[in-house]
Amino acid sequence: MLLRRPHRLRLLSSTTTNRSPFPLTVPLSHPTYIIWSSNTSLGKTLVSTGISTSFLLSPSSSNPKKLLYLKPLQTGFPSDSDSRFLFQKLSSLSLRRKLPLFSSHSVLLSSLPAAKSFKPNDFSLNVSHEMCELGFYEDRKALEDGNVAPELVSETLYAWEGALSPHLAAEREGALVGDSELVKKVERRLKTDYWKMVLRGEIGWFLCGGDCRGRLGGISGTISAYESLKLRGYDVVAIVIEDHGLANEIPLMSYLRTRVPVFVLPPIPQDPSNDLMEWFDESSNVFNSLKDIMLEAYLERIRRLNEMPRRAGDVFWWPFTQHKLVPPSNVTVIDSRCGENFSVYKVRNKEYITQQFDACASWWTQGPDATLQTELARDMGYAAARFGHVMFPENVYEPALECAELLLDGVGKGWATRVYFSDNDSPTESCHELMVLALKGSYHGDTLGAMEAQAPSSYTGFLQQPWYTGRGLFLDPPTVFMHNGKWILSLPEVFHSGTPEPEDITFRSRDEIFLKSRDSSNLAGLYSSYISQQLSQYSTLSGTKLIGALIIEPGKKYISLILLFDIIFLLMLVNECQQCKIPVIFDEVFTGFWRLGVEAAAELLGCVPDIACFAKLMTGGIIPLAATLATDAVFNSFTGDSKLKALLHGHSYSAHAMGCTAAAQSIKWFKDPITNLNITSKNSQKILLRELWDAELVQWISLHPSVSRMLREDDIYCRPLGNVIYVMSGPCTSPEFCTQQLLKLHTKLEEFTQVKPNMEII
Amino acid sequence: MLLRRPHRLRLLSSTTTNRSPFPLTVPLSHPTYIIWSSNTSLGKTLVSTGISTSFLLSPSSSNPKKLLYLKPLQTGFPSDSDSRFLFQKLSSLSLRRKLPLFSSHSVLLSSLPAAKSFKPNDFSLNVSHEMCELGFYEDRKALEDGNVAPELVSETLYAWEGALSPHLAAEREGALVGDSELVKKVERRLKTDYWKMVLRGEIGWFLCGGDCRGRLGGISGTISAYESLKLRGYDVVAIVIEDHGLANEIPLMSYLRTRVPVFVLPPIPQDPSNDLMEWFDESSNVFNSLKDIMLEAYLERIRRLNEMPRRAGDVFWWPFTQHKLVPPSNVTVIDSRCGENFSVYKVRNKEYITQQFDACASWWTQGPDATLQTELARDMGYAAARFGHVMFPENVYEPALECAELLLDGVGKGWATRVYFSDNDSPTESCHELMVLALKGSYHGDTLGAMEAQAPSSYTGFLQQPWYTGRGLFLDPPTVFMHNGKWILSLPEVFHSGTPEPEDITFRSRDEIFLKSRDSSNLAGLYSSYISQQLSQYSTLSGTKLIGALIIEPGKKYISLILLFDIIFLLMLVNECQQCKIPVIFDEVFTGFWRLGVEAAAELLGCVPDIACFAKLMTGGIIPLAATLATDAVFNSFTGDSKLKALLHGHSYSAHAMGCTAAAQSIKWFKDPITNLNITSKNSQKILLRELWDAELVQWISLHPSVSRMLREDDIYCRPLGNVIYVMSGPCTSPEFCTQQLLKLHTKLEEFTQVKPNMEII
């Protein structure tokens, strides 16, 4: 976790096991806690020793118990060693209390300077990577039988000599450790059948908050530490402080109210010759209570996790779900999300938490990776504290203004002059015209009004939408898709008479579809005349009905399938409408903000709309917010002396400060090469997102015969639609991660085909 | 700010001037900064002294400058005194640099023990309240002319003898200081024409973050302190650390990226006899840059605040707004919100920030007071870090489950078994039937579908809503209102033939309207027969149209006016519908969660719905989330073997974790007597909210002839509707605060009548 990649440094130190950017599977069969403190030398080791004593050396308890004390990173070694301190104190207390204990102590790896201090005469030290294999082990057996496993395992993974922050000590001693190596070592230990305590750890999900020994500043330091842990998604189960006669627990408890109990330890003797035995005896009541609370919180958590599927089935009404088809065993228990991954609770023989790639990007909303999620969390706290929500009309506040300016300078650049905010992602707020021109199979959101702009389908039938009438002229669009590894253009029947050339309907690569030369092909002419013929036919036959606007998604079509429209058709459609003065609306709710490799998909089309709607990724997917951008002409058509000419519609949360804060940050992050390593700019003019999904792998998978819901059972969370699997990452996701997911996907499809070759496709 | 009200303790220490719970007006004519640190004895005073030196004793600068250094609370006095230290160092540096300086130093009040230590022979010390008027003053004049004001004013407001946290020292020395007294004193000083620096202050809005002198732990301590400040809505303009050769600035800068600059000071001499003169010389480059950044940030902030109205007018498309009628001078610049108040930027001769009561509760969404807003901010950060957003169908995660369970156990108790979540507050998601039965003048939200359930009005005309058809049977409801101090029932024409008794149409008090005995009055019978006659007439005349549901707001009617429906009429309506098996929908988006003194307004009616919709206050108003509760019968009507029978509608952010977290907290806080002092429970069964608005005052104001938009210019933010002013607080707002607002409102109405007696009512 050391200074190799400073951008990632805080990532590891800020994530819990189940929230690590590395794929981790951690069993929950025993409690795992981190002991944290608000500063150094504040007694974390003493507290760990006290809890261990309560657990292992309490006369009342009879069951065999096992405890692992893990110090992942020790600096100041060998003069300082927390794992040795704990091992020695427990041994002494075992003798003092006449309770036998089989305990072991080991130090795995260290820097060369630390190793030389520790074993000055050993010149055979084995340097593995940049660390020495120290392999130190000692134990104290309580039984003759050497085959019994130790009841206490106290272990240091990595040690350095300098009494400095680990990142500094590692750098100075030329002994760096990689993130993934450390995580793997810790993960292996978390899988053992022991209670675990990790000291000031980088890893874990339950926490025992730090003690505070400082006099002045002890209260605020503890509160700040607590808040920093909360801002990283940690749960804190208890706080321990030392008694200095200052009654610091009173303001702490007032701040924490009933959320977290505060324990007060007797003053710690400052005389270095004091062996602390009496202090441990005096403190045993506190440590016993602390241990009980840790056990209780663990059991409560497991109970809750186990009950969640049943309780969810009892009280939730999930959207898009036939509840009769969802038994409790199909319910996914999501313990947290970290960047692109869910952490999911499962029971398969044992309880455990494992990571699942959220391939749906939670309904296409998710953008930030793990690092940016943490930053966004802090900004959400800030925006809530500074603004909460403030109402919008005739008001201005920084997040709304910054967000509007970023939108006009980004996705609206060159055409939009106004931003209208709403609080969800159905984009028809500005679609206030009589009939719409739209494409068959399109889907523009799920409010009753937005559904009217959708051609008839099984989602608009009487059972689903008894009010639906479908107020539009719906055209049949040509689509492109990959099949058997080739890109193919599928033309609706109406174009079949035009007999397009073979080179018009197959493409060697995806890039060919977007070639500028296609704009003037025969096919483009065919499209154009079909569209103008449809428009003039409608105006003749429809009586009083008028087309008020064209609404299209500039890039994909979705309703139970995902396909790409032929971009040339869209371009011809926009041209025709703009010639007829029909306002053009781009629904960029899905396509906006880099989903198609450019900030606004309009860039791909090479034309601009009059109105465009954005949502989902705009806030980094953290909370709902939508924005509709409009040209001056559209805006001015609502300007007048009468209030009744204005757009008198809006939402309670129009331009809410938290949404605008999230949007302002996400819009900036996604296009900043510092925060998004996938951003490239060949020349200073054009910013592009590199391809994240390996084309060959995608092709390989597209050839696979099997698609299944079973994917959700494993480490990819997918919602296949018909025979289409869609897999989505954020704009900042690394291509390596994407490749891993594609490989996993293929493996799962393979496995599944072997197990259930005849499964029904849902 | 001391331990008198522990619940409020953190409130003051966590709010900025413009976010104080006390009404404050603070000019922005000069910069004001707080110097903060991540712990005690970490050099805040040194940094303050260095910045002061750069400002006042820099040879290059020629303009006259004035600086106020304020230490609001000093403990360890008189041996410790930051204001004296700064005064003395500046005096010495003035001599050393041969730059004349007129400086003063004063200590205003202290505890008796501190005063006795300071002036051991003075027995005439004047004890004011619990503090002594110390009134100590000293100065060093650089000029002969005694009339010139000092260039440096260094001042301590309150001092205690014990070297402890102020709350402890104050308690032990029997010398407490009230929050409002302290705020008033600081406010007076902030109004002077000086640059201001407040040390470790409780007050201020710009911040210069703390330095960190600790070795190990310095990085995390600084980051934690920074995060705690962000979680309270503070902006940090710079961070200063001391050089220990550990390069702590590297990880700090990596964490902060470009957000905040980090300055490194030369090591501070540890020898107490060192007068630090050389150290200040060595550090002058750092302090000059720091001063420049502070000045730049201040100027940038003022520039931005001044530009905001014009820029907002250029880029925003506000809902419900005719932009032609909003000149930049009418735009409200909201700098922040704190509980019930906005902090608003104004320019009247000078620039300043002042507080405005948000009487609209930002479109009826706001609930938390200042304390709960801070708590909610932390929870928002936690939820974002732990969950971000995770998609809902077939999934379960803690915030959604907790929120659903709280809803079913609260507003849905006794009838609802299922919760359907959506992400905004238009409640018609479950209103998927053919025609609705609704009341004229009702308003159920502003999506296109929701507006169909609304009777025709100027908001549904062609210009506003060309798709509107009004798919419902709309009944004419009786309403009650206060006029000339009396409660009157207004009956629609249809009831006039029934000649109700006079005692049926006037009420001596509001409580009379809710009397149980009215259920069996003649009027109730009249209502009943009107409703059943309307229903049977509709089923005869409407051909194939069927009534699918009744939708009502159980308590108020809104569309350009706010009135109360006669509750008996609503009850009769529900009874009739339930007899005819017409599902009953309560739109509790506005009324839910204590707006009418009970958690669900349904309690007032004494009957239950089949479906009810909640939003707004549900999340404490911090972010959008809506929930629809339904009975088992409604839920089961969507259950079947076919997916097509399920409710296949939803939003991307259904049950989003941050919304559910906010809702779970708010629902609990609003009904907990510990967090909401307005909650009373006469017996353990029934929880009620006490009346917050003084009835006599409301009556007095209702008699006032004048209602005006000008209110927004002053310290109440109102949006009057016709001749109705509505004023709204959160459930936790103190009745004293409400009374203050009513008094102010009346004063403003008075003033306004005198100024513009003929203003047009908008």
pLDDT digits over B568-581, tens only? Answer: 899 999 999 999 88
Tokens 């005389």 belong to residue: A271
Give me the mean pLDDT over the B82-93 stretch: 95
Report the pLDDT value the prediction gives residue B471, as an integer from 0 to 100.
66
Going by pLDDT thresholds of 50, 70 and 90, the confidence category of residue A757 is very low
| List of E strands, A408-544 | 418-422, 435-439, 472-475, 479-483, 486-490, 506-507
Structure confidence by residue, pLDDT tens digits, B304-354: 999 999 999 999 988 888 888 889 988 999 998 888 888 899 888 888 888
How far, in Å, are B81, B85, B139, B277, B685 from residue B105 at the CA level?
Answer: 11, 10, 6, 20, 60
Whether residue B556 has pLDDT greater than 80? no
Give me the mean pLDDT over the B701-712 stretch: 63
Residue type, B542: S
Going by pLDDT thresholds of 50, 70 and 90, the confidence category of residue A430 is very low
DSSP for B337-374? EETTEEEEEEEESEEEEEEEEETTHHHHT----HHHHH
What number of helices (H) and strands (E) belong to chain A? 23, 30
Give me the mean pLDDT over the A88-107 stretch: 93
Q: Are A617 and A592 in contact (CB under 8 A)?
A: yes
CB atoms within 10 A of CB A364: 21
> What's the gap in Å between the CA of A41 and the closest CA on chain B?
9
Cα–Cα distance for residue pair B534/B105, rounded to 1 Å: 82
Cα–Cα distance for residue pair B560/B328, rounded to 1 Å: 25
Q: Given A19, A315, A391, which is nearest B363 (Cβ)?
A: A391
Range with the lowest mean pLDDT among A40-49, A214-223, B113-122, B235-244? A214-223
What is the fold, at CATH topology level, of the domain defined by B385-432+589-676? Aspartate Aminotransferase; domain 2 (3.40.640)
Range with the lowest mean pLDDT among A149-163, A271-285, B423-437? B423-437
Tokens 């396909």 belong to residue: A563
Report the pLDDT value the prediction gives residue B443, as an integer from 0 to 100.
62
Q: B474 or B555: which carries more pLDDT confidence? A: B474
Q: Are A28 and A302 in contact (CB under 8 A)?
A: yes
Give me the mean pLDDT over the B460-489 stretch: 72
- What does the angle CA A682 – CA A684 – CA A685 come to, to the nearest 5 degrees? 95
CB of B488 within 8 Å of any CB in chain A?
no
Whether residue B285 has pLDDT greater than 90? yes
Whether residue A211 has pLDDT greater than 90? no
Residues in Cβ contact with B600 at an 8 Å cutoff, skipping those fewer than 6 apart: B410, B411, B412, B586, B588, B591, B592, B593, B612
Structure confidence by residue, pLDDT tens digits, A686-743: 888 888 888 888 777 777 776 545 555 567 777 766 667 778 888 888 888 888 888 8
| Structure tokens belonging to residue B504 | 């049926």
Cα–Cα distance for residue pair A439/A477, rounded to 1 Å: 6
Residues in Cβ contact with B429 at an 8 Å cutoff, skipping those fewer than 6 apart: B420, B422, B613, B626, B628, B649
Which of A255, A335, A446, A467 is best to mutate for the B interface (most B CBs within 10 A)?
A: A467
Closest CA to A584 of A543, A552, A545: A552
Report the pLDDT value the prediction gives residue B60, as an integer from 0 to 100.
65
Which of B234, B391, B651 is best to mutate for the A interface (most A CBs within 10 A)?
A: B391
Whether residue A161 has pLDDT greater than 90? yes
Report the pLDDT value the prediction gives residue B105, as an integer from 0 to 100.
96
Cα–Cα distance for residue pair B32/A420, rounded to 1 Å: 35
Closest CA to A651 of B625, B337, B340, B447: B447
Give me the mean pLDDT over the A35-42 stretch: 66
Whether residue B202 has pLDDT greater than 50? no
* Percent of chain B with pLDDT strictly greater than 90: 18
The verdict on a CB contact (< 8 Å) between B38 and A342 is no
Whether residue B459 has pLDDT greater than 90? no
Rounded to the nearest 10 degrees, the angle between the axes of helix A218-230 and helix A249-256 is: 30
Report the pLDDT value the prediction gives residue A560, as an integer from 0 to 100.
45
What is the fold, at CATH topology level, of the domain defined by B6-300? Rossmann fold (3.40.50)
**CB neighbour class for A82 (10 Å; exposed up to 12, middle 13-18, buried from 19):** buried
| Structure tokens belonging to residue B589 | 């988006």
**CB neighbour class for B122 (10 Å; exposed up to 12, middle 13-18, buried from 19):** exposed
Domains B6-300 and B385-432+589-676 belong to one CATH topology:
no
Q: Are A670 and A732 in contact (CB under 8 A)?
A: yes
CB of B652 within 8 Å of any CB in chain A?
yes
Closest CA to A374 of A718, A1, A665: A665
> What's the gap in Å between the CA of A519 and the closest CA on chain B?
34
Q: What are phi and psi of A149, to 5 degrees?
A: -75, 150
Structure confidence by residue, pLDDT tens digits, A603-625: 888 889 999 999 888 888 888 98
Residue type, A159: A
Q: What is the ipTM of this complex?
A: 0.81
> What's the gap in Å between the CA of A760 and the closest CA on chain B?
14
Which of B168, B234, B395, B551 is best to mutate for the A interface (most A CBs within 10 A)?
A: B395
Give me the mean pLDDT over the B148-153 stretch: 85
Cα–Cα distance for residue pair A580/A526, rounded to 1 Å: 18
> What's the gap in Å between the CA of A647 and the closest CA on chain B?
6
Whether residue A10 has pLDDT greater than 60? no
Cα–Cα distance for residue pair A208/A295, rounded to 1 Å: 12
Report the pLDDT value the prediction gives residue A559, as an integer from 0 to 100.
46
Judging contacts by C-beta atoms under 8 Å, the chain A residues touching residue B402 are none
Alpha helices in A217-364 (DSSP H): 218-230, 249-256, 277-282, 284-315, 361-364
> What's the gap in Å between the CA of A225 and the closest CA on chain B?
6
Q: How many Cα atoms within 13 Å fall on the side-chain side of residue A692?
A: 25
What is the pTM assigned to this prediction?
0.82
Whether residue A410 has pLDDT greater than 60? yes
Give me the mean pLDDT over the B257-272 stretch: 88
The verdict on a CB contact (< 8 Å) between A6 and B251 is yes
Whether residue A511 has pLDDT greater than 70? yes
Range with the lowest mean pLDDT among A130-134, A442-446, A484-488? A442-446
Whether residue B237 has pLDDT greater than 50? yes
Domain ranges of chain A: 6-300, 434-582, 695-755
**Mean pLDDT computed over every residue of chain B:** 79
| Structure tokens belonging to residue A649 | 């519609």
CB of B40 within 8 Å of any CB in chain A?
yes
Range with the lowest mean pLDDT among A415-424, B16-25, B603-612? B16-25
What number of helices (H) and strands (E) belong to chain B? 23, 30
Q: B698 or B85: which carries more pLDDT confidence? A: B85
Judging contacts by C-beta atoms under 8 Å, the chain B residues touching residue A465 are 432, 649
Going by their DSSP bridges, the two strands B688-689 and B679-680 should be labelled as antiparallel
Report the pLDDT value the prediction gives residue A7, as an integer from 0 to 100.
23
SS3 B480: strand
Structure confidence by residue, pLDDT tens digits, A281-339: 999 999 999 999 988 999 999 999 999 999 999 999 888 888 888 899 889 999 998 88
CB of B382 within 8 Å of any CB in chain A?
yes
Going by pLDDT thresholds of 50, 70 and 90, the confidence category of residue B20 is very low
Closest CA to B123 of B170, B131, B132, B157: B132
Range with the lowest mean pLDDT among A242-246, A557-561, B231-235? A557-561
Q: Which range, A161-165, A709-713, B152-156, is most confident?
A: B152-156
Give me the mean pLDDT over the A533-554 stretch: 79
CB of B633 within 8 Å of any CB in chain A?
no
Count how many residues are written for chain B: 762
Give me the mean pLDDT over the B735-748 stretch: 83
Report the pLDDT value the prediction gives residue B674, as an integer from 0 to 100.
85
